[in-house]
Structure 1
Amino acid sequence: MNRLYHVPLSPFCRKVRLTLAEKRIEAELVEERYWEQSPDFLRRNPAGKVPVLRIEGRLLSESQAICEFLEEIAPNPPLMPRDVDGRYEVRRLCAWFDDKFHHEVTSKLLYERVNKKVTKSGYPDSKNVKSGAQRIKFHLDYLAWLLDQRRWLAGNEMSLADFTAAAHLSSLDYISDVDWNRHAVVKDWYAKIKSRPSFRSLLADQVPGFPPPAHYADLDF
């Protein structure tokens, strides 16, 4: 049985969960208290990070590498374009969200509001929260700019770029930190992603002490 060691609200874990579901690859979900750095977990990934995927006798880490591995072993439905320019654009946008967006927004909002409490590592830093709330506006504007020119984020076909962005935004939506009224085109794009069968397990997530808002699992939000 394949097994994914994950944290429910981690956008990196959600990215892998979405890819697995799209590829119809079953995997048991095992919540990992990665911050405790247990010897068993460090043997699975010495970097001490989630996600970690056990599949076909392999232990895989790093979300982008995992997703591209899954694309190689299960090419249908495709989440990477066939042309070199298209693959570049998908990878560029995946890096944008996993690096820039994560640093400027996810780590400032989700990590401050939720992770610190869960890991008992302190209280939210109001300056970080304020910064994240400000910076997400820029990123939502960038999403709108992309979607004004394309059907999906990286082009005319849905790709890993869309799932990477949706993984971050869904984590933030769980704590009501996304203004879906800022751009209708962004809300419509997210509604299409959110309505996919692969999204169902994400919408069923529950984090003790942090109930999701009513709109979180609503497909007509």
Structure 2
Amino acid sequence: MSLDLTLHHFPLDPASRQVRLALGEKRLPFSEEAVRYWERPSALVNMNPSGLTPVLTASDGRGALVLCESRAILDHLEETYPDPPLLGRDAHERAEARRLLQWFDRKFDYEVCGFLLHEKMEKRLLGLGAPDLAAMRQGREALRAHLVYVEGLLSNRDWLAGRRLSLADFAAAAHLSVIDYFGDVPWRDFPAVKTWYMKLKSRPCFRPLLADRWPGLTPAQHYDDLDF
């Protein structure tokens, strides 16, 4: 029996973008509901008490399965829709993909997004005033350190976790794509990362992300350029 999938998400949320990329790569049709999560709408909180996006509902007409936040959703998609597999085909690549998922969702998010996206995006959404320049500088320095690490990985690999595209690539691209929306990724200094990101940008699953716009948040001029 086919299921109707609905993703409740914020377009510029890296966690939501990971799920959108996985759904697109697996060619699963789904409906979208854009959510202003910072306003804690009751419909979102009723589904996910944390009030965070994304939330995926899967309905068969008789009831709905509610999956809250990215890791639970991605695990469900891998279990329920295993083709194509996005965690690697051997134990080593699966372990590496899981490690890098954790890297980007915890370390990168805390050290980079916690500064850059908070200052450039969340403050605007919440009406908290101008960005703090010291915090921006700290976020940019951390971003460069992470890009050095990713550049090293890609010097010996086709994709982040090994020979094949995986959820690790989607996690990294989801975070970097939102930072790139605001023009803060120094692509010119990291050619291997830029080439990897161009490959991802050209995939059909990535195209909806390039069309994302949010009122009051204007993307960098190159954001949707495939040959940036």
- TM-score under structure 2 length normalisation: 0.93
Whole-angstrom distance in 2 between the partners of 1:37 and 1:10: 15
Equivalent residue in structure 2 for 1:12, among 5, 11, 15:
15
Equivalent residue, structure 2, for 1:40 = 43
Q: How does 1:1-221 map to 2 (within 5 A)?
A: 1-56=4-59, 57-221=64-228
Whole-angstrom distance in 1 between the partners of 2:132 and 2:6: 35
Residue 67 of structure 2: SS of its match in structure 1?
strand
Q: Report the residue type matching 1:150 in the other structure.
A: R
CA deviations 1:47-67 (Å, max 9, x no partner) are: 111001111321101212211
Unaligned runs of 5+ in 1: none
Whole-angstrom distance in 2 between the partners of 1:213 and 1:33: 22
- Give the CA deviation at 1:124: 2.1
CA deviations 1:148-179 (Å, max 9, x no partner) are: 11111000111000010000000000000101
Q: Report the residue type matching 1:74 in the other structure.
A: Y
Q: Report the residue type matching 1:190 in the other structure.
A: Y
Residue 181 of structure 1: SS of its match in structure 2?
helix
RMSD: 1.1
List, as ranges, runs of 4+ consecutive aligned residues in structure 1 with deviation greater than 3 Å. Answer: none
User: Which has the larger displacement, 12-21 or 102-111?
Assistant: 102-111
Whole-angstrom distance in 2 between the partners of 1:122 and 1:84: 47
Q: Report the residue type matching 2:177 in the other structure.
A: S
Q: Report the residue type matching 1:17 in the other structure.
A: R
Q: Report the residue type matching 2:212 in the other structure.
A: D
Whole-angstrom distance in 2 between the partners of 1:25 and 1:120: 36
CA deviations 1:41-84 (Å, max 9, x no partner) are: 11100111100111132110121221121111111111112322
Residue 54 of structure 1: SS of its match in structure 2?
strand
Unaligned runs of 5+ in 2: none
- Give the CA deviation at 1:29: 1.4
